[in-house]
Amino acid sequence: MTACPIALFIAAIRSRASRLAAVSSYRVAATGAEPRASDSARTTTTRSYGPPRTDNSSPADTMRAFFTRSPLTRTLPASIACAARERVLKNLAAHSHLSNRTADGVAFSMPNSIRYHVAGALCAAIVTAPTPGAAQTVTPVEQRIRAHVEANTESAIALLERSVNINSGTMNKAGVEAVGMLFAGELQSLGFRTSWIAMPPVVNRAGHLVAERQPRRRRGRAAPLRILLIGHLDTVFEGEGQQFVRTDSIGTGAGTSDMKGGIVVMVQALKALASVGALDDMHVIVVLTGDEENAGDPMELARDDLIRAARRSDLVLSFEGGSDSTAVVARRGSSDWVLAVTARQYHSSGMFREGAGYGAIYEAARVLTEFRTALAGQPLLSFSPGVIVGGEKVSYDTTMMTGTASGKTNIVPPSAFVHGDLRFITEGQLDSARTVMREIVARSLPGTSSAIHFSKSYYPAMAPTPANYSLVATYDTVSRALGYAPVVGNDPGRRGAGDISFVAPIIPGLDGLGVFGSGEHSPREAIDLTSLPKQTARAALLMYRLTRDSERTRRRLMVN
């Protein structure tokens, strides 16, 4: 019966130590310039970049192996939680095709330290879940916050419509900045100072909106909690034709749920807090990136402003798409790869013979098939060939992800390209998958030659730390108090990469606070408009309760 407290103690120490190490070792290529401040709320364009400070570390270097096989859906008794730890490990090992390590006699492909983190996450559920006597009602001030949210639902929908009708595909730099200016105006009306941080030409992206509101100084009170709120201005699709259309309680259009709807939730929650004077006691930084869907390179420069803001914050809340009963405590990382295949060009009558070989397209098909055979089924690992071109004359742009191909039916095709992504939960899993993929690529068919390139910059994974589960517990209490469904931490396998992963090694956080929707990354993207006031009220009360006693919140997050 004493094993679980010991496991919790070890997990807490390791969690805290890894966060402190992340803060001290996490260095990126940085600009020497900060946004210029002004005496009044206005937008400042920052375009100068100083000499870079370089380091061999990367966002991925600070990640640690925290994950569970399944989301935690209930509070477990101590004895069951500790027993579950070993079951999780054995189940993971049993389903791993890359198992090459052992832990207490169990084959397992992840670092041994993951055993402590799994136990920590399980035991954290016991200490962070609301107690039976926790308040499940809203206070009079919270009732006023909720009333403000509901009274302004139509204005929220109008703001969403204006933002969606501005085309802001990642490479539409003018459109991304225009959406940024729209939300800058909303934040300025609340007393935020805003800056548009333009990216240098090498990054080839529009830039980011950074806004900050300082708290009102009060003697004798603890320093206010510093909250970082993040989102992104860009959408997946470029071009016109996906304007906002409202049909009853459904709204369609590019960015409705991913994630202009989430930014509207953020802005409306801040307005509701301001309506009761609560915003005066909060220190809030907002960072809205302009290239989340297709991040600029080098990533260290593209995410420098976000990381700087995290270093000045106590916690981060992200407003990617949400759900009724889960919040995001973990995200998988994402890395791109490009397969390039060359082959002998020959008359098609010689296909498969020694002189002609197999051609580039058959070789690409072989590689993809062996990827699937060798790697499918690895827990929380996925890989997808998103674009393929092949033929006699082939060109491909890895930035725009567009290509052309031409050829004839009577030739052995000499060229092919495949561009895909790789999703992972730990650095160990990423390295193992890349090793297997390189080995497969090296076994080229006769008459062909293949090479694979993995991007140096990539989205790291967001670990499901106990501190993140602590934030879920508060969010769950808020949801129940509002009369909504209970909320638990998510299954990492159901969420893709996100900007919150870059700051997760520095501060605890929670994602998935945005609207409910469907069809993301497709022409069918839609938002459930009834989720706007629900998610706004949840977010507003979450921030309100976290900031009522800043010191208590800080202590709780550090303990976890």
Assigned domain for 52 exists: no
Tell me, yes or no, whether 463 lies in a domain: no
User: What's the pTM?
Assistant: 0.70
Tell me which of 424, 454, 484 is where a domain ends.
454
Same domain, 527 and 420: no
**CATH number reported for the structural domain that contains residue 409 in this entry:** 3.30.70.360
Q: Is residue 468 part of a domain?
A: no
Query: What CATH number corresponds to the domain at position 260?
Result: 3.40.630.10
Residue 82, SS3 per DSSP: helix
Outline where 381-530 has alpha helix (H): 427-442, 466-481, 500-503
The residue range of the domain holding 414 is 333-454
| Shared domain check, 150 and 118 | no
**Same-domain status, 240 and 276:** yes
Judge whether 48 lies within some domain: no
Q: Are residues 272 and 159 in the same domain?
A: yes
Are residues 42 and 194 in contact, defined by beta-carbon separation less than 8 angstroms?
yes
Q: Among 128, 156, 183, where does a domain finish?
A: 128
Nearest to 265 by CA among 187, 160, 165, 371: 160
Residues 121 and 185 in one domain: no
Verify that 314 and 255 share a domain, yes or no.
yes
Residue 270: in which H helix or E strand, if any? helix 260-275
Shared domain for 282 and 171, answered yes or no, is yes
The reply to whether 300 falls in a domain is yes
Q: List Cα–Cα distances, 130 to 134, 467, 478, 480, in angstroms.
A: 6, 14, 10, 10
- Residue 381, in any domain of the structure: yes
Residue (of 244, 74, 278, 248) closest to 167 by Cα position: 244
- Return the sign of the alpha-carbon dihedral for residues 332, 497, 455, 371: positive
Count of the separate structural domains present in the chain: 3
In this structure, the answer to whether residues 263 and 390 fall within a common structural domain is: no
User: 408 lies in a domain?
Assistant: yes
Render each residue's pLDDT in the chain as its tens digit; 560 residues: 434 433 443 444 444 444 434 333 333 333 333 443 333 444 444 433 333 333 333 333 333 333 333 333 333 443 334 444 344 434 444 443 333 333 332 233 333 333 334 444 444 444 444 444 445 799 999 999 999 999 999 999 999 999 999 999 999 999 999 999 999 999 999 999 999 999 999 999 999 999 999 998 766 677 899 999 999 999 997 656 689 999 999 999 999 999 999 999 999 999 999 999 999 999 999 999 999 998 898 989 999 999 999 999 999 999 999 999 999 999 999 899 999 999 999 889 888 988 889 999 999 999 999 999 999 999 999 999 999 999 999 999 998 889 999 999 999 999 999 999 999 988 889 999 999 999 999 999 999 999 999 988 788 899 889 999 999 999 999 999 999 999 999 998 887 778 999 999 899 999 999 999 998 888 889 999 999 999 999 999 999 999 998 888 988 888 65
Residue that terminates a domain, selected from 81, 97, 128: 128
Are residues 310 and 163 located together in one domain of the fold?
Answer: yes
- Is residue 364 domain-shared with residue 236, that is, in the same domain? no
Q: Would residue 50 count as lying in a domain?
A: no
Whether residue 400 sits in one domain with residue 348 = yes
276 and 230 inside one domain: yes
